[in-house]
Amino acid sequence: MNRESRLGIVVSGSLSDGVAVRMDGHTSVEDVVVGHYVTIEGQKHRFLGMITDVKLDASDQHMTFFPPSADDDFSAEVLSGTSAYGMLTVTPYLLIGGAAQPDVNEPQPVKTIPSHFSPVGLSSDADIELVFGKEDDKKFWIGNPLDMETKLCLNLPEMVKRSNGIFGKSGTGKTFLTRMLLIGILQKSAAVNLVFDMHSEYGWKHRNEKGRDVKALKQLFGSKVAIFTLDEENARQRMVTPDFVAKIGYDEIEPEDISLLRQTLNLTDLAVDASYSLRKHFGKDWINKTLNLDGEDSAKVLNALNIHEGSFQSLKRGLTSLTRLTFTQPHVEQQAVSQILTRLENGTHVVLEFGRFTDIAAYILVANLLTRRIYDKYRERTERSIADGSAAPKPLVITIEEAHKFLNAEVASQTIFGTIAREMRKYNCTLLVIDQRPSGIDTEVMSQLGTKITCLLDNERDIDSVLAGTSGKSGLKGVLARLAAKQQALIFGHAVPMPVAFCPREYGTEGFYKEISSEQPNPKEIEEDINNLWR
Amino acid sequence: MQELSQTRLGEVIQASSTTFCAQCYELYSLPPLGTLVKTNEGDNELYAVVYQAFTEGIEPGRKPIARGKDEPSEEAVFKANPQLVKLLRSEFAALVVGHKRDGRVNQYLPPRPARLHGFVYECSSEEIAGFSRCYTFLTLLVNAKAETPSDELIAAVLRLMSASQEDPRAFLVNAGKELAALLGQDYARLKAILERIKP
């Protein structure tokens, strides 16, 4: 460790609270930043850790009462680093070699702490690279650790094996981060994406906060991406040519969907119960028939099904408001679900734009309805593949926004998203949850998220819920609360060996587009494409 | 040869493991407080710093009396009473802070005290610079139990030593840092010393 990078020595600490590092006199506390990586040269191991706190301390508390005067440079120079010094709290995360295991290639999680007086220095790029790897056909570069040149690369095929979450306050860069991650998934062919794009920002170009247009998936990857829309007129206005205009038939809506919309449509519990009875009574076309029910017929049916008139009216009002959404029709010939599934099977990524239907009721209805059917198919196909040994379906990542509306404690057990977050990993289908109020998401679902990426959060409950169950939580809390309001994020969980505060790659510049598009498809893929052409 | 190039300050008249006392050959030719002096003890060259100096009558039972009532000046008192120079003596006490053995400076106490009647010399600038390359001697000064307040002594020693350095400020800063480590639990004392050595 050279003198420039050396920060100090370990003087005390514990595995649970991190080690205390007394800073050398020549380093200023102003040069170290919470979230920086440090390497600790222990006697037998090398440790990689993160600075989680910086503190000024004095060997004699009298100094804090009678400090030297401000113009006394001499005393200040003498005292700084000796009687008055900086202390760092470092949480060790990984073992990266050292005398006891010099040839180690894989960083190991720590189970001990460095011994007293081990020197501590800023990690070199080589150390960081050892941990986060290089960009390759599986690893995607999403950004750089704070103040470092090294690339932070994620193993995407590994990451999408579990559900993941992106959190952050509004305006902190969630959308850009998500777009980057979707590109990564697309590029590394780790999985196919299905994006429920509430604000139409992932498929076609979108304007950033500086008022500049940035390209999105379809523009960057052309035929690999299909845009579905619920709102043809809106797409036309935005000069987007959708691949498919999705319509939802009344007969596709099930009582489960209605139950999920109970709060949004302001339905009573009895009204929801009534929907189940009516579905059973009328069969597939129950909504149409319920809406046309009046007069004597109505009284007869309600009597037979033991439904109270008030509940029936409440349900009817709710159903009417659904039928007012222009993308719903009594019957649809070409079902959106089968269209989406065909594309996903071909490896085409699907972005479903909601256009002007940014109403949460429409979003919940459509997302839930489509996903439930996709879930059934995936489950069926995976089970078949296990039974007859055929290929399992391609891993699917479903991206949902405003996740707390689907996954809050009240409805998480009912919606299909709750089920996917909990168990669909086995069926090759995972979620990418995007949300600004993580505290609203059911704790059971939160605990199942493999990797969490979070931009700045400043609500105590949100921070707590994001970090719940993470080791070194108190330290990370400090790091998270001090992220810059823009373009900084913290990633931790399954996909990274240790938590990292990072600056996401800059999105939307010419250089970025070039880097993304210059990645050539591998020769095997080209050959396959040519073969398909002559088939 | 040594005598020619170096200033001889006096002769050891009392010695212990930690201090020695020397009498000056001339009345009032005392070295300043904090001066680095040296004397020989066999193969060892002892280094010490002056921590106390006094002038008194040679007979312990006889106190000097005032004689200048009718004299116009202080010099005239001595002129009128030439015996005074012989009846009074100047002495200084020095705290041992290290020794040189086989050409190597050790900043800890020597194995044996200084010898009586050993000559005491003032150290040259080069010797001071050589001795003050390391600051271990400050421990001896900080813990010294001398009549002179040790803060005053430390400050005086460092001020004088800094004059023989290429970069006096850097020397004082480093010495201050060493003191800060020694006096980590006693900020008031540290502050008092720093006030006194501030360049």
pLDDT of amino acid A100: 61
Task: Indicate which of A11, A75, A80, A85 best probes the interface with B, i.e. most B CBs within 10 Å of its own CB.
Answer: A75
Lowest mean pLDDT among A98-107, A218-227, B101-110, B177-186: A98-107
* Interface contact B184-A62, CB threshold 8 A: no
* Interface contact B176-A74, CB threshold 8 A: yes
Kindly report, residue by residue over A31-51, the tens digit of the pLDDT: 888 878 899 999 888 999 888
Alpha-carbon gap: A23 to the closest alpha carbon of chain B (Å) = 14
Lowest mean pLDDT among A204-208, A264-268, B17-21: A204-208
Residues of chain B positioned with their CB less than 8 A from the CB of A11: none
Alpha-carbon gap: B138 to the closest alpha carbon of chain A (Å) = 15
Rounded to whole angstroms, how far apart are CA atoms B191 and B169? Answer: 17
Residues of chain B positioned with their CB less than 8 A from the CB of A79: 176, 180, 194
Contact A259, A369 (CB under 8 A): no
Residues of chain A positioned with their CB less than 8 A from the CB of B173: 74, 77-78
Please report the sign of the dihedral spanned by the C-alpha atoms of residue A355, residue A356, residue A360, residue A362: negative
Give the 3-state secondary structure of residue A50: strand
A 10 A CB-CB count for A78 gives 28
Contact A456, A436 (CB under 8 A): no
Alpha-carbon gap: A136 to the closest alpha carbon of chain B (Å) = 51
Residues of chain A positioned with their CB less than 8 A from the CB of B186: 60
Count of domains forming chain B: 1
Q: What is the mean pLDDT of each run of 10 residues along chain B (199 residues)?
A: 69 94 93 94 92 90 88 92 90 95 92 94 92 92 87 94 92 92 88 90
* Interface contact B198-A77, CB threshold 8 A: no
Going by C-beta distance under 8 Å and a sequence separation of 6 or more, which residues neighbour residue B64?
B56, B57, B87, B88
Give the 3-state secondary structure of residue A92: strand
| Contact map slice: A 38-77 vs B, CB within 8 A | 58-60, 62-63, 66, 68, 72, 74-75, 77
Rounded to whole angstroms, how far apart are CA atoms A95 and A99? Answer: 11
* Interface contact B188-A62, CB threshold 8 A: yes
Alpha-carbon gap: A180 to the closest alpha carbon of chain B (Å) = 51
Of A472, A479, A469, the closest CA to residue A501 belongs to A479
Residues of B with CB under 8 A from a CB of A: 169, 172-173, 176-177, 179-181, 183-188, 190-191, 194-195, 198-199
Query: For residue A9, what pLDDT band results from cuts at 50, 70 and 90?
Result: very high
* Interface contact A66-B187, CB threshold 8 A: yes
Residues of chain A positioned with their CB less than 8 A from the CB of B179: 78
Which alpha helices (DSSP H) does A133-171 contain, by range?
A: 156-159
The fraction of chain A above a pLDDT of 90, given in percent, is 6
* Interface contact A79-B188, CB threshold 8 A: no
pLDDT of amino acid A20: 94
Taking 50 as the threshold, does the pLDDT of residue A29 lie above it? yes
Rounded to whole angstroms, how far apart are CA atoms A135 and A132? Answer: 9
Output the CA–CA distances (angstroms, integers) from residue A501 to A141, A238, B26, in the order listed.
14, 36, 75
Taking 70 as the threshold, does the pLDDT of residue A124 lie above it? yes
Alpha-carbon gap: A189 to the closest alpha carbon of chain B (Å) = 60
* Interface contact A60-B185, CB threshold 8 A: yes
A 10 A CB-CB count for A458 gives 12
Of A330, A331, A332, A367, the closest CA to residue A352 belongs to A367
Alpha-carbon gap: B101 to the closest alpha carbon of chain A (Å) = 32
Nearest CB to B194; choose among A59, A62, A78:
A78
Going by C-beta distance under 8 Å and a sequence separation of 6 or more, which residues neighbour residue A217?
A179, A182, A183, A186, A202, A203, A225, A349, A351
Contact A62, A79 (CB under 8 A): no
Using DSSP bridges, classify how beta strands B8-15 and B119-122 pair: parallel, antiparallel or unpaired.
antiparallel
Task: Indicate which of B171, B182, B190 best probes the interface with A, i.e. most A CBs within 10 Å of its own CB.
Answer: B190
Nearest CB to B184; choose among A59, A78, A81:
A59
Using DSSP bridges, classify how beta strands A349-353 and A396-400 pair: parallel, antiparallel or unpaired.
unpaired
Using DSSP bridges, classify how beta strands A429-435 and A164-167 pair: parallel, antiparallel or unpaired.
parallel
Alpha-carbon gap: A78 to the closest alpha carbon of chain B (Å) = 5
* Interface contact A78-B176, CB threshold 8 A: yes
Question: Apex CA A186: angle with CA A180 and CA A188, to 5°?
Answer: 100
Kindly report, residue by residue over A305-329, the tens digit of the pLDDT: 778 888 888 888 888 888 888 788 8
Kindly report, residue by residue over A50-67, the tens digit of the pLDDT: 888 899 988 888 888 888
Question: Apex CA A273: angle with CA A272 and CA A278, to 5°?
Answer: 95
Nearest CB to B186; choose among A60, A68, A81:
A60
Give the 3-state secondary structure of residue A214: strand
| Phi-psi map region of A89: left, alpha, beta (phi>0 left; psi -120 to 50 alpha) | beta
Task: Indicate which of B154, B172, B177 best probes the interface with A, i.e. most A CBs within 10 Å of its own CB.
Answer: B177
Secondary structure element (H or E) that encloses residue A194, with its range: strand A192-197
Of A141, A222, A220, the closest CA to residue A518 belongs to A220
- φ, ψ for residue A155, nearest 5 deg: -85, 95
Kindly report, residue by residue over A352-378, the tens digit of the pLDDT: 888 887 777 778 788 888 888 888 888
Rounded to whole angstroms, how far apart are CA atoms A190 and A449? Answer: 18
Alpha-carbon gap: A69 to the closest alpha carbon of chain B (Å) = 11
- φ, ψ for residue B47, nearest 5 deg: -110, 140
Is the model more confident about A476 or about A92? A92
Using DSSP bridges, classify how beta strands A225-229 and A349-353 pair: parallel, antiparallel or unpaired.
parallel
* Interface contact A83-B187, CB threshold 8 A: yes
Nearest CB to A78; choose among B177, B185, B188:
B177
Exposed/middle/buried for residue B52 (C-beta within 10 Å: 0-12, 13-18, 19+): middle
Give the 3-state secondary structure of residue A437: coil
Residues of chain A positioned with their CB less than 8 A from the CB of B188: 62, 66
Taking 70 as the threshold, does the pLDDT of residue A4 lie above it? no
Please report the sign of the dihedral spanned by the C-alpha atoms of residue A453, residue A457, residue A460, residue A462: negative
Residues of chain A positioned with their CB less than 8 A from the CB of B190: 83
Partners of A165 in the beta sheet? A433, A452
Output the CA–CA distances (angstroms, integers) from residue A267 to A251, A283, A411, in the order listed.
20, 21, 14
Q: How many residues does chain A have?
A: 535
DSSP per position, A119-143:
EEEEPPHHHHHHHH----SSEEEEE
pLDDT of amino acid B1: 42
* Interface contact A82-B181, CB threshold 8 A: yes
Going by C-beta distance under 8 Å and a sequence separation of 6 or more, which residues neighbour residue A27?
A6, A7, A8, A86
Task: Indicate which of A23, A57, A79, A83 best probes the interface with B, i.e. most B CBs within 10 Å of its own CB.
Answer: A83
Domain assignments of chain A as residue spans, ordered by start = 6-132, 154-247+332-514, 251-323
Contact A448, A433 (CB under 8 A): no
Kindly report, residue by residue over A403-452, the tens digit of the pLDDT: 877 777 777 777 777 777 777 667 788 888 888 888 888 888 888 888 88
* Interface contact A81-B198, CB threshold 8 A: no
Paired tokens of A441:
């998401």
Q: Which CATH number fits domain A154-247+332-514: 3.20.20.70, 3.40.366.10, 2.60.40.420, 3.40.50.300?
A: 3.40.50.300
Longest CA–CA separation in chain B, Å: 58
Of A117, A115, A128, the closest CA to residue A24 belongs to A117
Output the CA–CA distances (angstroms, integers) from residue A330 to A110, A160, A172, A368, A369, in the order listed.
60, 37, 41, 19, 16
Nearest CB to B177; choose among A25, A66, A72:
A25
* Interface contact A82-B177, CB threshold 8 A: yes
Going by C-beta distance under 8 Å and a sequence separation of 6 or more, which residues neighbour residue B142?
B150, B154, B179, B182, B183
* Interface contact A82-B191, CB threshold 8 A: no
Give, rounded to a whole angstrom, the gap between the first and last alpha carbons of chain B: 36
Paired tokens of B182:
């020694």
Alpha-carbon gap: B162 to the closest alpha carbon of chain A (Å) = 14
Which residue range(s) make up the domain with B108?
Answer: 2-197
- Three-state helix/strand/coil letters over chain B: CHHHHCCEEEEEEEECCCEEEEEECCCCCCCCCCCEEEEEECCEEEEEEEEEEEEEECCCCCCCCCCCCCCCCHHHHHHHCCCHHHHEEEEEEEEEEEEEECCEEECCCCCCCCCCCCEEEECCHHHHHHHCCCCCHHHHHHCCCCCCCHHHHHHHHHHHHHCCCCCHHHHHHHHHHHHHHHCCCCHHHHHHHHHHHCC
DSSP per position, A402-419:
STHHHHSTTTTTTSHHHH
Best mean pLDDT range from A90-99, A122-131, A480-489, B103-112: B103-112
Whether the CB of A81 is below 8 Å from some CB of chain B: the reply is yes
DSSP for residue A186 = H
Kindly report, residue by residue over A501-512, the tens digit of the pLDDT: 888 887 767 777
Task: Indicate which of A71, A78, A79, A80 best probes the interface with B, i.e. most B CBs within 10 Å of its own CB.
Answer: A78
pLDDT of amino acid B3: 47
A 10 A CB-CB count for B27 gives 15
